[in-house]
Amino acid sequence: MSATDTPIRCLEFFSGIGGLHYALNIAQVNAHVVEAFDVNEVANKVYQHNFKHTPSKKTIDRLTVKDIDRYKAACWLLSPPCQPYTNGGHRKDTEDPRAKALLHLIDLLPQLNAIPEYIFLENVKNFENSQSRKKLVEQLGMLGYEINEYLLTPTQFGIPNHRMRYYLTARRSPHPRETTEGGIDTGKIQTEWTINNNALEESDLPSLSQFLEEGDDVHVKKWMVPERHTDRTTFRPVGRLYKQKILRFLSPTEVSRLHAFPGPAYQLSTRDDHDNKSNFDPPTCEPHLEFPQDVSEIQRYRLLVSYSGDDSSIISRLQSALSNIVAAASDDASSGENASSDAASSDESSSGESSSGESSSGESSSGESSSEESSSSEESSSSEESSSSEESSSSEGSSSSEDSSSSEDSSSSEESSSSLANP
């Protein structure tokens, strides 16, 4: 979409620390988040610190048609709680109270006067097999949306993070593709990303060392695993690294880099182009993800674990692709109204797609795995392990309780490590 177009008005539900908002910025989509919703007070504090807007704490499952229509939003961004669809949450699906908010929004959709043209949703793997997803897809189908679904991992975009997530993009169309009952089969879900991206090999991924904090002011000791936990077979840190025979957690900054949140440039940003096999360029657009000083270390970990399903590298690619579809559809509509300019409109649509199809967070380099570190798969397990911790977390999303992290301000670094080692 061109810079002169009116920005797409977006509502961000279950906003957390703003992962979907960041992805819009990285993708350079011409959009504006007019309101965000979340009841987690600590997450809202971080959101306000970075975006200068405090999300509404109104419980999502109590929103009315009038509440939503007043924003005249053309796009919904949703990152609902994942616990109803995880083993850690006992996969209660629609019977889980934490699914109530999403189900409420699905029920509200056909009642709205301002039905959104675009919907973007992300969740944990297993959501694709849920009754919640079945209800969502059926409702979208009845309302005339064209739907695309994906199961993707950051490794497909050049980040050593194997954490697979579910993504849905939907665009309302006056002439949607014909669908059948088979439209909700998991076999229809795409597992490869082929738009402006070649398949990557494990060896193409940058080593974990390129995501680590460096410098004399980096205090590694505070992230070391307490010795009493290092010999436990149940040990599950948010991220682990063997370096000089030291077992330590990844810092909050390192975890955020592995989820492609924007921040200051670091060593991966300065590698030579000939080493860049995976095309990942760490995003540096502002605002950066920063935490207020009064948000404790353990709260930062918990927020990153609970809301790091917002993998900005993937989400920005999908949003960019959806934006290109919107631009092409707009050109097609113009050509339909003016038959004499059909050829010109078609050319513009084609060129628009090719020029803007790759706007997102990019992705990156250095395929060699450091000998000081564990294998590539262990390096990337930092976020897989975060996922298992996430599954047992009750802090994600607006429909859950206010989040226990708000009471942890005085936790010490060692308490942080202990808690993370025993999620």
Q: Are 386 and 202 in contact (CB under 8 A)?
A: no
Rounded Cα gap, residues 64 and 255, in angstroms:
37
Please tell me whether residue 168 adopts helix, strand or coil conformation: strand
Q: 13 forms bridges with which residues in the sheet? A: 37, 78
User: Which of 367, 307, 413 lies closest to 421, judged by CA?
Assistant: 413
Handedness of CA 101, 106, 109, 111 (dihedral sign): negative
Is 285 part of the annotated catalytic residue set? no
Catalytic residue among 10, 75, 82, 285: 82
Q: Cα(43)–Cα(299) distance, rounded to whole angstroms?
A: 9
Cis peptide before 287 (omega within 30 of 0): yes
- Token code pair at residue 342: 């059909």
Q: From 249, 229, 232, select the one nearest 298 (Cα to Cα).
A: 249
Give dist(CA 46, CA 41) in Å, integer.
Answer: 9
Strand order in the sheet with 118-124: 31-37, 8-13, 75-78, 118-124, 165-172, 145-152
CB 289 within 8 A of CB 373: no
Q: Where are the strands (E) in 90-245, listed by range?
A: 118-124, 145-152, 165-172, 240-243
Please tell me the distance from the alpha carbon of residue 130 to that of residue 90, in angstroms, as a whole number.
12
* Whole-angstrom distance, CA of residue 60 vs CA of residue 52: 21
Catalytically active residues are 82
